[in-house]
Amino acid sequence: MASIKFFDSHIHIYPKCEGRCTTLMDSGHVDGMNLILFRYNEKDADQLNKEAFALKAKYGNKIQLAYWADLADEGHIQAAEKAFRAHPEMTGVKIHPACANKEINEQNCGRIFDFARERGLYMIAHTQPNPGSNAMSFEPIMRKRKEMRLILGHASPIEESVFMALSFEHCYVEPSWLSHFSLMFEMMGRLFSYRKMLVGTDGPMRFHRWEVDRVKMDAVEEEISYARKMMPTMKDVQAYCYDNAVEFFRLG
């Protein structure tokens, strides 16, 4: 069991990691996860994603499933429609514009945002600190869709991600590794009392090689330990590690 309640808001179904998410949930080490499915147009995706659907069937609302929409596919909306007809239990949509070699803009991302909005789904997007992949690139898209729930995965760059959270009521930051620094926690603490932060491991493919100062660490406990260093109270740590996810994913 984790030392406090923990909802992993960024974890993947991934090749060569078969069974790891199931082991993690069944162990009771986490209390839930936002599980990002493997891209449907990739080899073995159907077989790999069976694990995620089985976890959803077993654990219900504790498992949130994000369909990975490939923006490089011109027919990605039709592909998403087909996938959601087959699996209406999916609750969100993941995009990784940089991986698809697409810039974040209305032309490339607007249709999938509308797809999610029409169905009441949340979006989770990979961000990184280069033009066209950065958090602020979503500002014009979100300005047209202010009611959208959006997770800025990796919350990069930090200042831009914090500004987005300040600008849009349902925009949350998830600072795994690219923004996993004291500045993020300081800014989010001052502006939000940590309310709009979600913890994520970006696992499980990195779990077996997770190290801090060359010491092997359990990924979940390391995240909790880091939060304890960055946040003033255990109430704040618990909000970051679990309570904020209850609000964002509507788990209550």
pLDDT digits (tens, 9 = 90+) for 49-100: 999 999 999 999 999 999 999 999 999 999 999 999 999 999 999 999 999 9
Nearest to 94 by CA among 26, 203, 208, 11: 11
Q: Is residue 23 part of a domain?
A: yes
Asked if residue 84 is part of any domain, the answer here is yes
Residue 40 sits in which domain range?
Answer: 7-248
Is 1 part of a structural domain of the chain? no
- Total of domains in the chain: 1
The CATH number of the domain holding residue 123 is 3.20.20.140
CA distances from 49 to 37, 67, 75, 106, 144 (A): 6, 10, 21, 29, 32
On the 0-12 / 13-18 / 19+ scale of CB atoms within 10 A, 106 is: exposed
Q: What is the pLDDT of residue 210?
A: 59
Mean pLDDT of 116-128: 98
Neighbours of 121 (CB within 10 A): 20
Average pLDDT, the chain: 95
Residue 213 placed within a domain: yes
Q: Exposed, middle or buried by CB within 10 Å (0-12, 13-18, 19+), for 193?
A: middle
pLDDT at 213: 55
Nearest to 173 by CA among 147, 195, 148, 193: 195
Confidence of residue 212 (pLDDT cuts 50, 70, 90): low
pTM: 0.96
Give domain status of residue 2, yes or no.
Answer: no
The pLDDT tens digits of the residues spanning 3-28 come to 799 999 999 999 999 999 999 999 99
pLDDT of amino acid 216 = 60
Q: Is 237 exposed, middle or buried (0-12, 13-18, 19+ CB in 10 A)?
A: buried
At CA 164, angle to CA 160 and CA 168, rounded to 5? 175
- Is-contact 163 155, C-beta < 8 A? no
- State the pLDDT confidence band at 209, using cuts at 50, 70 and 90: low
| pLDDT, tens digit (0-9, with 9 covering 90-100), for 135-189 | 999 999 999 999 999 999 999 999 999 999 999 999 999 999 999 999 999 999 9
CA distances from 192 to 5, 106, 166, 199 (A): 21, 28, 8, 15
* 218 has a pLDDT exceeding 90: no
Confidence of residue 214 (pLDDT cuts 50, 70, 90): low
Residue 230: both structure tokens together = 């960055």
Please give the average per-residue pLDDT across 219-240, as a whole number. 95
